Structure 1
Amino acid sequence: MRFDHLFDDLESQLESELGASERGVAEEEERFRIGRLELRERLREGPQSIDFMLSGGHRLRARRVSVGRDWFSGEVTDGAAEGAGCVIPFASILAVRMDEASALASTAPAPERVRLADRLSLGFVLRDFARRRVWLQVHGAVAGSLAPGGTIDRVARDHFDLAVHEHGSIRARGNVAHIALVPFSAVDWIQLEP
């Protein structure tokens, strides 16, 4: 019967259109999910070792240790003393270099977990360095700027006070050359001794 073929053809067309519609919805949902991804999520889910190009002209390769709300921390493998620690504010990142497979993998859906580090700001990390009296070196966001070393005395909302002194000496009045008030926005990256 002619109607059997007609109904079979209509059924086939309907199934094809429904399948295309479902694929279109799934593709749109994926585009929407990727549109909400943040840099910190991609750094957290990306490769363990990451190449950074920073606004001050610095290039670093670092092995990821932690990713916070607005910062990345890692162990430098190229671009500074081997094994030195680094803290990189997201605001100073010009680009992150990855191969194509790593870039694609960094967009994969991650399990929903509440991570304390996701809520910790750069200021919180700097306050921890101040409490522990860690000697560090600050590299500026303008090529050739800053790079003084010392101990953080206090951390305010948008800047910190760095007591500049020689590495290996304690932070004492006679050892401090000067106090540098450093805006967070002037920091390209912070180097911690290995």
Structure 2
Amino acid sequence: MRWDALFADLESQLHAVASAQQESEIRERTRGEQARLTLVQRLSGQVGRQVGVSTRGGRSVTGVLTNVGAQWLALAVEGRSVVVPLPALRTVRASGRAVGQPLSGIEAKLGLGPVLRALSRDRAQVALWVTSADSGCFGVIDRVGSDFLELALIPRGDERRAAEVREVLTVPFSSIDTLESESSIE
């Protein structure tokens, strides 16, 4: 009987060690998988949910996350679309922890330029905040280059006509904090 108890105890200890090793391996694999996640994947798992973002320029925006691109995200806020370049993000507040799939194909290659070109094509009136200014600029995007945009500054609510343009502001993409538009970003 003593031998049976000894063997049972040894078997129990062996089982405990094997379980601990298995749990350790699972935790290590999980950490490895999490280390490969990107911000875009994390954000794409929140599409359709309410999120709050704070930016390098000090803005705080809360809305429904509608789209995530390779270099930007778009929020629906009270009938407006707010585009935030990912480099301008300081923090994101989200209630869920879901993670989406990595962007693939052309989606993974399209940056901020195509979004801005769509707004320019639609002649959408936009409010633009840059990372170093307290107040936004209002106007219509006249031109979008590979890494900059030109914003024709006009009075809010006016159409973009040559006589209404006060000046044209050239803004590097790297300086964009947020961009708001009445047009939706699709």
TM-superposed CA distance for 1:144, in Å, is 1.6
Tell me the percent identity.
33
CA contact (8 A) 1:141 1:186 kept: yes
In structure 2, distance between residues paired with 1:27 and 1:131: 49
Instruction: Kindly provide the CA deviation profile for residues 49-76 of structure 1, in whole angstroms up to 9, marking residues without a partner as x.
Output: 1111111121111111111111110111
Map residues 142-161 of structure 1 onto 2, 5 A cutoff: 142-145=132-135, 147-161=136-150
Aligned to 1:129: 119
Give the partner amino acid of 1:124.
P
Residues 35, 122 of structure 1: CA spacing in aligned structure 2 closer, same or farther, 3 A cutoff? same
Map residues 148-187 of structure 1 onto 2, 5 A cutoff: 148-187=137-176
TM-superposed CA distance for 1:113, in Å, is 7.4
Superposition TM-score, scaled by structure 1 size: 0.81
Aligned to 1:59: 60
CA contact (8 A) 1:67 1:117 kept: no
TM-superposed CA distance for 1:84, in Å, is 1.8
Map residues 74-153 of structure 1 onto 2, 5 A cutoff: 74-76=75-77, 82-98=78-94, 102=95, 105-106=96-97, 108=98, 110=100, 114=104, 117-145=107-135, 147-153=136-142
In structure 2, distance between residues paired with 1:109 and 1:183: 31
State the aligned residue count: 182
Runs (5+) with no aligned partner, structure 1: 77-81
In structure 2, distance between residues paired with 1:156 and 1:181: 10
TM-superposed CA distance for 1:193, in Å, is 2.3
Q: How large is the Cα RMSD of the aligned pairs?
A: 2.3
Residues 139, 152 of structure 1: CA spacing in aligned structure 2 closer, same or farther, 3 A cutoff? same
CA contact (8 A) 1:67 1:118 kept: no
Residues 171, 186 of structure 1: CA spacing in aligned structure 2 closer, same or farther, 3 A cutoff? same
